[in-house]
Structure 1
Amino acid sequence: MADLFSAERIEKSSADFALAGVLLLLLGVGLSMLFSSSFYWAQKLVQDPYFFFKRQMIWVLVGLVSGFVASRISIEFLKRSVPWLLLLTLGAMALTFVPGIGTMYLGARRWVFAFGFSFQPSELVKLSLIIYLAYILERKSDRFDDPVNSLLPPFIVVVFFATLIYLQNDYSTSMFVLIICATLFFIARVPLRYFLTVGITVIPFAALLLLTREHRVKRIIAFLYPQIDPAGIGYQVMASQNALANGGLWGRGIGESVRKLGGLPEAHSDFVFAIVGEELGFVGVMLVLALFLYLGYRGFRISFYARDRFRSILAFGLTASLVFQALLNMGVVAGLVPATGITLPFFSAGGSSILISMIMCGLLLNLSRTSTPNLEEV
């Protein structure tokens, strides 16, 4: 335990306060909108309007503690923990296939249930692979001209975990993981010719897998032609767009959404951003978008000024995962992207998402301590 928290960062002892501020704002606004979007459904489902909010607060408290630990942990200890982290992640993923522990819900086997709570291990996969790739790509950065020994092993690890996620019937998350990992290979300066070689194989195969399940095909049709079945496959897309449009410039007011009263499925989860638009209007939507973009700016700045390749790749991966996921969710709600089932960080109901997001944020604050120039300056 002596090296778990070290004083290796004497030259810069304080974290990026601007980053911490935007994270707290996102968390506060997100919790407010979660309560507003969930109380009606919670009352209808379990006769407790605070049900989803209380469960989310439990995870937030766990996330705050975990994020604080992540913000103080020794980076060298984190590097040495990579093999154990991968094993832990593999074990958690395996549990989803164990009867009685992993449970099928809405056609997918993504969750582990225990003691009245559920956890989605694919969220942990995102974090683990980002840390793993930062570690392994730094170690092998001088051997990229030997791809069999330097790049093939991490590529296999990434594809293996993405395949496990796919086998849970979670195509969207598996593709998201592959895309985030691909950006890390790119940031690590892997030669472009390797991307072309892999892309020729992976992209057509991924497109083929997309068409192997009926519900995925229906999502594409609903995205392209929602009006052909407005009461069926196109309902959710059109309902979310209507919610955004109904908000106008200033919104109907917090708590005044109409669509959350049963008119929009998953209003407290995947489509909570539609409720943001309806209650806070265009101004609120732009403010939330600005907060995520500013989070991206601070995070990518940490990556740019990192003292070594590991910290740079890690900061970039953590930031990309949070911001790209947010933009993807917003795109789905606005009808710009087919429905994915991917949540909006800090806003959507879901303990796994908020916990992993806060650990990622803690690590970003940790990395900001060793970045130059002084990242407290805007």
Structure 2
Amino acid sequence: MDYIKRFFRYIKNYSKYIDFTLLITYIMLSLIGLVMVYSASMVAATKGTLTGGIPVSGTYFFVRQLMYCIAGFSIVFFMSYFMHINILKNKRVQQIVIFSIFGLLVLTLLVGTTINGSKSWINLGFMNLQASEILKVGMILYLSFIIDKRRNRLKQFKLALMMPLFLIGTCIGLVLLQNDTGQALILCLIVFCIFAYSGIGIKAILKWSGPIFAGVVILVIFSIVFKGGVLSQHQADRFHVLENPFNYESGIGYHLANSLLAIGNGGIFGKGLGNSIMKLGYLPEPHTDFIFAVIAEELGLVGVLFILFLLMFIVYKGFLYAALTQSYFFKLVCVGISSYIGIQTFVNLGGISGTIPLTGVPLPFMTFGGSSMLSLSIATGILLLTAKQIRIEQYEKMHI
């Protein structure tokens, strides 16, 4: 009984430092995503179109996404209340994390499972692990740590960051070798945002960022030698179809044309939850790549704007805490996580709406998938942990 009392006393004492608006937003997005995964997959699951022709229960994907959500909630709760911020600043922990992810990326190339043309997953039995999703969080922490530790030498940018950038560039190159251009693009943009906010200066980044591009170029050369090119045929088709998807709606533009029809069908208020027509065989992956189209058709413009508001609220919170703290490390972590969620949202919506080529990048918190939910939950937990530490520091300053 004493242990239970101490536990709840500890939770009560530290709850005043937790940003509950951020925590509630995360929970709301995860629950909305859970409902939309069920709505998008229930009919297709019973017909077997999403499971290799084998009919399964209508709750098949819902139950799995529910397990991912529970695991995600547990991660966020543990990180928010019980993890100490100093573990993120530990050099040995940083090295273990980044080199473990590097190993997973190499292992993916060797024994990975190919889905939709990308060899990006390792089959663990209970889920498919996508190492590139975990790389996003690991890369944010690693770059923030390195830049913070070496900020006094940033005038000698090339020497201070050459090897770390080469390592990150190699990791991104491994993602390209997996034929996952969308994830590689997001990783590059996150790196750029962290550097841009770090105060290094755009000129210095452009002048001395050779190591990161060297890592990418080396692996692109391997891709050309062993695969015959950087882009596969279906990736090249995605660029070509942007001209007018409805000119190719019976061929390479079929998926994008139906996605645009689904978005248009939703109107302002949508057809109602569960009433999407385009998910009934017209969209190839309604619970993953094209879940935004299902959301737009069922919930309409109002529902889409509400979800975008919640996503942008997390992005806003990250930049807000970056402005509030004096810690260089905290600033870069907050900016990195905000950039991760913001950029991935834009890339997903841009692809589904025909603004940019389709990439297969998940919509944060909405798309079915354990790796994406795990990565986003860890990112949210880190943001909450960082916010808690910033609030503790502010509280201590006020009471000195």
TM-score (norm 1): 0.90
User: Does residue 359 of structure 2 align to residue 340 of structure 1?
Assistant: yes
Amino acid at match of 1:82: Q
Alignment map for 1:50-65 (pairs within 5 Å)? 50-65=59-74
Alpha-carbon displacement from aligned partner over 1:53-98 (angstroms, at most 9, x marks no partner): 1111111112122222222311211221101111221222222133
CA distance in 1, matches of 2:14, 2:45: 49
User: Does residue 120 of structure 2 align to residue 110 of structure 1?
Assistant: yes
Aligned counterpart, 1:4: none
SS of aligned partner of 2:287:
coil
Amino acid at match of 1:149: L
Amino acid at match of 1:16: D
Specify every segment of 5 or more residues in structure 2 that has no aligned partner in the other structure, as ranges: 1-9, 49-54, 396-400
In terms of fraction of residues, the more helix-rich structure is 2
Aligned counterpart, 1:3: none
User: Does residue 171 of structure 2 align to residue 161 of structure 1?
Assistant: yes
Match of 1:197 among 207, 212, 218: 207
Moved beyond 4 Å, runs of 4+:
10-13, 198-206, 208-211
User: Does residue 323 of structure 2 align to residue 320 of structure 1?
Assistant: no
Amino acid at match of 2:78: V
CA distance in 1, matches of 2:95, 2:144: 13
Worse-matched range after superposition: 103-112 or 170-179: 103-112
Worse-matched range after superposition: 225-234 or 172-181: 225-234
**RMSD of aligned C-alpha atoms?**
2.4
**1:109 and 1:168 in contact (8 A); partners too:** yes
1:306: Cα distance to partner? 2.0
Alignment map for 1:75-90 (pairs within 5 Å)? 75-80=85-90, 81-90=93-102
1:307: Cα distance to partner? 3.5
1:131: Cα distance to partner? 0.3
SS of aligned partner of 1:231:
coil
Aligned counterpart, 1:38: 41
TM-score (norm 2): 0.85
Aligned counterpart, 1:359: 378
- Count of aligned pairs between the two proteins: 363
Alpha-carbon displacement from aligned partner over 1:252-308 (angstroms, at most 9, x marks no partner): 000000000001111110110111110011111111111111111112111111230
Amino acid at match of 1:78: L
CA distance in 2, matches of 1:156, 1:196: 15
CA distance in 1, matches of 2:255, 2:292: 13
1:106: Cα distance to partner? 2.5
1:347: Cα distance to partner? 0.7
Q: Structure 2 vs 1, CA of residues 12 and 149 (structure 1 numbering), >3 Å: closer, same or farther?
A: farther
CA distance in 2, matches of 1:129, 1:56: 25
Match of 1:292 among 292, 295, 311: 311
Specify every segment of 5 or more residues in structure 1 that has no aligned partner in the other structure, as ranges: 1-6
SS of aligned partner of 2:110:
coil
**1:239 and 1:264 in contact (8 A); partners too:** yes
**2:263 and 2:294 in contact (8 A); partners too:** yes
CA distance in 1, matches of 2:377, 2:126: 22
CA distance in 2, matches of 1:91, 1:184: 24
User: Does residue 151 of structure 2 align to residue 141 of structure 1?
Assistant: yes
1:187: Cα distance to partner? 1.1
Higher relative contact order, structure no. (Cα contacts within 8 Å, ≥ 6 residues apart): 1
Aligned counterpart, 2:302: 283
Q: Percent identity?
A: 29
